[in-house]
Structure formats: C-alpha cells, structure tokens
C-alpha cells in the first residue's frame, strides 16, 4: 500500500493512509499491510501555483507507476487529487466516508478574532485554489489573493512566521485529520488500484460508503463534463436529504466578477453497502463499485452531466475558456 508522502507531505498523507489500513486490518485480521511512502511531482514543485504547472496527474503519476509495476497494490489519495479521467488500467476501488467538506479560514495571530469581511483593505489571503480565490474575490473585493503552496505544516508556518499573509484558506478535513481543530477528497478519501486486479478490488470494495460514493460520482461527472481542473474556477457540492440528491455547481471568472451557479436534484435510493452491483465493466467517472447497484450510480452520474449541461447552456463554456486563457497568459 502506498501513501503520498515525502518529508514535505508525509504527515497528513500518512494519517490518511493509516486510517485506511486500520479499517482493512479490522476487516481482514489475517492480512499484513506494508506502507510505502512515495513522493509525487506535486510534492516537489512548491514554488509554482498548481494552476500554472499544467500537469493533470500532479499527485498521482508516480504512485500509478508503482501500481503498474506491482510494487504496491493500492494507493490512498485525497479524492480531489484524482483526475476525473484516470489513465487506462487504473480505477478507484473504494471511496471512504466523507469528512467535513468545507473550507476553513486560518488567520495570522495578529488578526485573531477577525473575519474576512473585517480584515484591513488590501490584506493578502493565501490559497492554492483558483476556485477558492475566485469565489472569495467576488465576495470580498477589498482583499488580495495569492498562491501559497506546501503541506499543511509549511503553509501554517508561512502564515505564522512571515508577514506576507493575513490569512490562508485550507480544507477543514485536513486540519481535523491532523488534530488541529483549534485552527479551523474535500473530505473524501479514494483508494486507487489496478482496474483488472479483482482480488484487490474485492479487498477494498468493502470500504465504499454508499452515500459518499453516489455524491462523488455526481460531482466527478459534473467536473468531467465541464472539463474542470486546477486551471479553472469550478465548484460543486452535494447534499442528500429525504431520498433526494441535491447537486449545486458553479463556474467563476478568475476575478470572481462573472459567475453562473445552479442547483438540480434527483431521487436516488442509497443502497445497503453490500447489495449486488454490476457484473460487467462497472467504471463510472473512474470509480469501480461492484457491491453497489448500477441504477443509483447511473442516476448520480446523469445528475452531474445534466447540471453541467445546464451551466453550459447558460454560458459556462465562455467563462471557463476566458479563465483558461487568462491563467495561461499570466
């Protein structure tokens, strides 16, 4: 088993991998699991914004190479790091129960008690996400937003010890997994495996959380249809209530001045975890879930595609094309 992790990225990656291993050990007490820490391109290039690097598999390529060579049998990722189109031969064999999917604002100590709204004019807020920057720029035009890279420890150190940032935006789930509640995939972990390795697929398939799985299928279908990635500000959020899956998606211009947001819903039955699933090639948006019925998976995927088409009909393509051009030009 592999977890993304060099000295710069080990802590959170190791915690996430350990949580998956602990669950597997409880389910399969007779098996031994060896954890191998590996580095990725995204871990090594820390002086460039993610949106500028131009590599779609920043946090996965080296790990998939190890999978391909049978050096490891499964890889634990934050699901947000996995492209919606995986290379041939790979699949997401498990999606674990999602933790808090929201973003968190962490302030420099001198601004303790402040909010983004009450920060002084021209205060600088750090984020590695174009989506976060565009959304916040629209709501808080008096602030400036700059790229900040590095693992959680590095970003927090930059915030606390340097005077460049008044606040930074981080994923709440990462802070919680690190035990830093006082400073507060997004939220979901995915386990990538070889697509044809049925033994490993059966092994990890029991980790699927049905509700999280269906929500992630809808989200990834939306992002894939819009061709959303690190180079454009695209956001998507799901909620399940009373048998209805609600999907909200939006696109923004880089400065947040232009945006389109819509919500759609569909009736989707969340199945028991171990109901029989499809017997044929079951991949949807890179996810294999043979122990979840095909019907709800297809309904979730169709919801994501339908919402993407709705945004495209309202002009989303033009907003995204301009955002890509401007991002490439800077």
Q: Which residues are catalytic?
A: 81
Q: Are 323 and 126 in contact (CB under 8 A)?
A: no
Alpha carbon 44 to its chain's center:
19
Four-point Cα dihedral 177, 18, 151, 102, nearest 10:
-30
Q: What are phi and psi of 17, to 5 degrees?
A: -65, -45
Distance between CA atoms of 126 and 148, rounded to whole angstroms? Answer: 5
In Å, the largest CA–CA distance within the chain is: 59
Strand extents, DSSP E, 124-181:
124-127, 144-147, 167-171
List Cα–Cα distances, 193 to 25, 68, 123, in angstroms: 18, 9, 43
Q: Write down the residue that tokens 């890179």 correspond to.
A: 286
């Amino acid at each position: 088993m592999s977890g993304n992790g060099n000295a710069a990225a080990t802590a959170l990656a190791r915690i996430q991998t350990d949580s998956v291993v602990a669950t597997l050990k409880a389910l399969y007490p007779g098996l031994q699991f060896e954890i191998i820490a590996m580095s990725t391109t995204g871990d090594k290039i820390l002086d460039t914004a993610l949106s500028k690097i131009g590599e779609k598999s920043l946090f996965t390529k080296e790990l998939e190479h190890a999978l391909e060579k049978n050096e490891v049998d499964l890889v634990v990722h934050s699901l947000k790091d996995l492209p919606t189109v995986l290379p041939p031969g790979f699949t997401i064999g498990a999606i674990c129960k999602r933790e808090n999917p929201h973003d968190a604002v962490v302030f420099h100590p001198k601004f303790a008690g402040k909010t983004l709204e009450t920060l002084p004019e021209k205060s600088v807020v750090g984020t590695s996400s174009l989506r976060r920057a565009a959304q916040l720029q629209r709501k808080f035009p008096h602030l400036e937003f700059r790229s900040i890279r590095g693992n959680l420890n590095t970003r927090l150190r930059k915030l606390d010890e340097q005077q460049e940032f008044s606040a930074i935006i981080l994923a709440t789930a990462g802070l919680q997994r690190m035990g830093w509640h006082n400073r507060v995939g997004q939220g979901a972990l995915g386990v990538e495996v070889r697509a044809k390795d049925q033994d490993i697929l059966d092994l990890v398939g029991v980790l699927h959380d049905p509700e999280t799985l269906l929500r992630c299928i809808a989200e990834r279908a939306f992002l894939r249809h819009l061709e959303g990635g690190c180079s454009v500000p695209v956001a998507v959020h799901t909620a399940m209530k009373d048998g209805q899956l609600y999907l909200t998606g939006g696109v923004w211009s880089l400065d947040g001045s232009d945006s389109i947001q819509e919500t759609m819903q569909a009736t989707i039955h969340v199945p028991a975890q171990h109901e029989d699933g499809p017997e044929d090639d079951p991949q949807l948006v890179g996810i294999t879930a043979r122990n979840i019925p095909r019907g709800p998976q297809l309904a979730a995927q169709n919801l994501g595609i339908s919402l993407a088409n709705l945004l495209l009909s309202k002009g989303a393509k033009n907003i995204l094309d301009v955002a890509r051009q401007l991002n490439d030009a800077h």
